[in-house]
Amino acid sequence: MTPKISLIGAGSVVFAKTLISDIWRFPELANATICLMDIDPARLKVADIMMRRIAKKLDVGAKIESTLDQREAITGAKYVICTVQVGGYKPSTVRDFKIPAKYGLQQTIADTLGVGGVFRALRTIPVINSIARDIADYAHPNCLFLNYTNPMAMNCWAVEEAVGIPHVGLCHSVFGTANQLCNFAKLPPEDVDYLVAGINHMAFFLKFQYRGQDAYPLLFKALENSERRQELVRFEMMRRTGYFVTESSEHQSEYVPYFIHHGQKVIDQFNIPIDEYIRRCEAIIGSWEETEAELLGKDGEIEIKPQSHEYGSYIIHSIESGQPRTVYGNVPNRDIITNLPNRCNVEVPCLVDRNGLQPVTVGELPPQLAALCMTNINVQELAVKAALTGKREHIYHAVMLDPHASATLPLDKIWAMCDELIEAHQKDGFLGEFTPTLKNTGRGYAGVGDRIIARLEGQGVFATDAGAQNRLRLTVENPTGQAVTLQFQLRPESDALTLEGDGILTVKAPAKGSATAEAVTINQSAIDDNLSVTLETECANVLAVSAVLRPRPKLGLNDSGEATFGLKLAGFDAAEGTLARDGDLIRLRAKVLDSDLKPNYDSPFAGSGLQLFFAPLDNTGNIREVNIIADPAGKAEVRLFKNPLDNAKITFRRTDIYYELEFTVSFEELGLEPTNEVLFDCIANLGALGDAHSGGRTVLSGNFNAFSNSSQYTLVSWAQRTQ
C-alpha cells in the first residue's frame, strides 16, 4: 500500500514543486497520495494545478488532494512535511526588521537566531506544535514529521519537548556548503568525504577529506587567496576557530558578535548585506506573476528540473523501500554530541532505512566549537521556554543572551525593543499572551600551517587517441622551514593508460618554496572518459592530490541545432544558455539567476555579468575574452577584454530574480576566422543566486584561469547552424 504524504504549507509553491517532483521520481512512490494543505486558498489552487501537471508530465498514478483543513490533511498520513511561514513577509517579517532597526540593531536574514529568530519562533512554535499534536492523534501510527520551517532548532526542540512524536528537521546547508568547499579546494566532489556536526546553521566540517586525506590545508590555502571575494565571514571564522561552518556568511554574521555591530567599516570589509532577507522577499513578491506562470507552465506544459539534493524524498524512499542512505538531519540530542546538552537539537549524519532515522553518535566537538554552539543553544532554549510556558521574562532572556543583540544594545534597549515587538505581533494576531513581568587561526592542529601540498595535474589538452602521449606536472609546495626531498609513485587507475618509465618522481623542494617534476603517460587504447592517475608518497606530512585527465568536453545540441550549456553554483542552477552560428556571426542567449546585480566597470570580473572565452582549434593561444557587464538599471555593456565592442548587438531583460540577454558578434570583430568549430568557456559572476543563496563565481570548465589557458574549454560544433 502506497503511503499518504501531506504537505502543510503547500503555498510555498516553488519549494513544493521541488519536494513533490523529487518524491514522484522514485517508482516506489509514484502512486503515493499527495495531500496539499495551506491557509491561502489562492496559493493552494496554484499548488494543486501545478501538482496535477507535474503528475501528468511524470506519468505517475498519484492521487492528489487539496484542503484548507489541517486535520483532514494529516489524518492517515504516514509522512507530514512542513513548510509554513507564520505571519508572512507582511506584517511579521517587516516588523522583525524595522522595529530592531529603530534601536540600532542591524540584521541580515533574521529567521534563525537573534531577535528576529526569537520572534519568528514565538509565532511559529504554537503552529508547529498544533501540527505535531494532530499527527499524534490522527496520522498513521508510524508517521514521520519532516520539518523545513525556520527557526529549525527551536521548532524541533519545541516539538520534542511538548509532543514527542518522531520528527526530523531538514536543511540544505550541509550539502550546499560541501559543494562550495570542493570548489574552493579545487577538488572533484566525488572524491571528497566529510563529517559535519553541531546545531542547525552552526554545524562544522569536522572532517573534509580527499581520498582519505585531510584536505583542510587546501581550504586554508583558499583563505589566503587575495582574489577570493566570497564567504568572507565564514573564512574569517575558520581562521579563528580552525573549522568551516555550514551556513552562509549572511547568516553567520548575525550568529556571532564579531562583525555587524562594529560599524560600517567592518560591514564593508566583510561584504555583509544588511536587510538582505527584506531584499530577497521583495524580489520574490515583485516577480510572483512571472513565477506563477513558470510554475504552471505554458499551455499546461510544465518544466521539471532533475532531482534535487533535498533530503526529504530520499528519507521517505529509504523508509518505504529499505534502501539505506546517509542524510544530515536535525534531531534531539541523546548523547549524540556529548559536550552539548541532551535537551538541545543537533544536526548530525543519520542512517535511514526501513527502520527509520538512526542518528550517528559523534562524541565530543572541539571545545571552541561546542562553546560557539552553546551561545546559540542558550538563546534557543530560552525562546522555546517562552513559547511553551508563556513566561514573558524568557523572551527578554533569550534576546539578552543573543551574541549579536547583546554586543549591540544595552539591556534597557533590549527590553524596550522586545516590548514593542511583543505588542506589534500581538496586535497583528500572530503572537499569544504571556504572563506579566516586573569572532590568525586558532585551530591547534599540526599539519595545517606546515603540511606539504603535492598536486599532480595534466598539461594542456588531454590527447585521447591510441598511442597518444600526455604530460603530467607534479608541483610540490613546501611551507616548512627546511628543504625536503620526497619520492612519489604515480599509478594509473586504468590499464588503458601507462607511464613512461617506472612512474617514480623525486622532487627536491626548498624551504618555504616549491618545485616541479614531469611525467609522460601513453594511451594503450583510445580514451573517451575521465581517467585518474593516483599520486602516492610514504611521507605522512604530505597532502597528495591525484590527477584527473579529462578529454575535452563537447557541448550538446538541442532540437534547434544550438549548443546548450549550464553552470551551477554550490550545486544549484546558476546560469544556462545556447550558442549558435549564423553565417559570420556568433549568437549567444543566456539566463542568469542573479537577483542582486553589482556591476563593476573597472574590473568586470569582480562584478555581475558574464565572461565569454573563444579560441580557434588550430591556435589555442588566441583566446578572445568578451565581458558582458550586467547593470541593475536594465542595461548591459559588452567589451572585448576592456575595449567596447561597438558593433556587437545585445538585448537585455532584467527581473527581480534573474536577467536574460541575447548577444551577437561577428567572427571578424573577435579576430577569429569563421569556422564550424570553436573552443568556448564561460564564467558567470553573481551578486546573489536567485532568491535564497549567496553570490559567487562559477565557470563552465571548472578552470577559473580560462583567460590564460584554453586546455579545458569545451568544443562547440556549429555545423548544423552554418548558413
pLDDT digits (tens, 9 = 90+) for 620-645: 788 999 999 999 998 888 888 888 88
DSSP 396-427: HHHHHT-HHHHHHS-HHHHHHHHHHHHHHHHH
- Strand, helix or coil for residue 378: helix
Cα–Cα distance measured from residue 187 to residue 213, given in angstroms and rounded to the nearest whole number: 12
Which of 508, 454, 512, 453 lies closest to 480 in space, CA to CA?
512
pLDDT value, residue 641: 83
121: its cell numbers: 519562533
How big is the chain, counted in residues?
723
Q: How far is CA 720 from the centre of its chain?
A: 37
Residue for grid cell 587507475: 493
Burial annotation 4-18 (CB, 10 A radius, 16+ → b, else e): bbbbbbbbbbbbbbb
Cβ burial of 301 (10 Å; 0-12, 13-18, 19+) is: exposed
DSSP 642-698: TEE-TT-EEEEEE-SS-EEEEEEEEHHHHT----SEEEEEEEEEEEEETTTEEEEEE
pLDDT at 551 over 50: yes
pLDDT at 283 over 70: yes
Which of 380, 377, 386 lies closest to 425 in space, CA to CA?
386
pLDDT value, residue 720: 52
User: Residues 434, 418: contact at Cβ < 8 Å?
Assistant: no
Map 73-137 to HEC letters. Answer: HHCCCCEEEECCCCCHHHHHHHHHHHHHHHCCCCCCCCCCCHHHHHHHHHHHHHHHHHHHHHHHH
pLDDT at 4 over 60: yes
pLDDT at 255 over 90: yes
pLDDT at 302 over 80: yes
Average pLDDT score over residue span 512-522? 95
User: Residues 643, 604: contact at Cβ < 8 Å?
Assistant: no
User: Residues 330, 200: contact at Cβ < 8 Å?
Assistant: yes
596: its cell numbers: 542582486
pTM score, whole prediction:
0.91
The one-letter code for the residue type at 113 is L
User: Residues 206, 197: contact at Cβ < 8 Å?
Assistant: yes
For residue 680, the number of C-alpha atoms closer than 13 Å in the C-beta half-sphere is 26
Residue 344: other Cβ atoms inside 10 A? 22
Cα–Cα distance measured from residue 687 to residue 670, given in angstroms and rounded to the nearest whole number: 28
Q: 397 CB contacts (<8 Å, ≥6 apart)?
A: 382, 386
Which of 589, 595, 602 lies closest to 682 in space, CA to CA?
589
pLDDT digit string, tens, across residues 371-428: 999 999 999 999 999 999 999 989 999 999 999 999 999 999 999 999 999 999 999 9
pLDDT at 445 over 70: no
- Strand, helix or coil for residue 270: coil
pLDDT value, residue 560: 84
- Say if strands 624-631 and 497-499 run parallel, antiparallel, or are unpaired: unpaired
- Strand, helix or coil for residue 209: strand
pLDDT band at 441 (very low <50, low <70, confident <90, very high): very low
Mind listing the domains of the chain with CATH numbers?
78-274+310-435 (3.90.1820.10), 452-549 (2.60.40.10), 563-721 (2.60.40.1190)
The pLDDT > 70 percentage for the chain reads 97
For residue 405, the number of C-alpha atoms closer than 13 Å in the C-beta half-sphere is 30
How many helices (H) and strands (E) the chain has is answered by 19, 33
Average pLDDT, the chain: 92
Cα–Cα distance measured from residue 710 to residue 622, given in angstroms and rounded to the nearest whole number: 9
pLDDT value, residue 323: 97
Please pick, among 172, 261, 317, 693, the residue that the annotation labels catalytic.
172
Q: Does residue 172 carry a catalytic annotation? A: yes
User: Residues 20, 308: contact at Cβ < 8 Å?
Assistant: no
Cα–Cα distance measured from residue 88 to residue 120, given in angstroms and rounded to the nearest whole number: 10
- Out of 250-264, 277-291, 697-711, the most confident range is 250-264
User: Residues 667, 674: contact at Cβ < 8 Å?
Assistant: yes
The pLDDT > 90 percentage for the chain reads 76
- Say if strands 167-169 and 144-147 run parallel, antiparallel, or are unpaired: parallel
Average pLDDT score over residue span 34-40? 97
579: its cell numbers: 550558442
Which of 497, 464, 379 lies closest to 122 in space, CA to CA?
379
pLDDT band at 176 (very low <50, low <70, confident <90, very high): very high
Between the alpha carbon of residue 292 and those of residues 11, 298, 380, 553, 624, the distances in Å are 11, 11, 36, 36, 40
List the single range of 24-28, 225-229, 501-505, 577-581 with lowest mean pLDDT. 225-229
pLDDT digit string, tens, across residues 108-149: 999 999 999 999 999 999 999 999 999 999 999 999 999 999
pLDDT value, residue 265: 97
- Strand, helix or coil for residue 713: coil
Cα–Cα distance measured from residue 77 to residue 79, given in angstroms and rounded to the nearest whole number: 5
pLDDT value, residue 322: 96
pLDDT at 613 over 50: yes
pLDDT band at 451 (very low <50, low <70, confident <90, very high): confident
Average pLDDT score over residue span 556-575? 90
pLDDT at 449 over 70: no
- Say if strands 144-147 and 79-82 run parallel, antiparallel, or are unpaired: parallel
pLDDT band at 443 (very low <50, low <70, confident <90, very high): very low
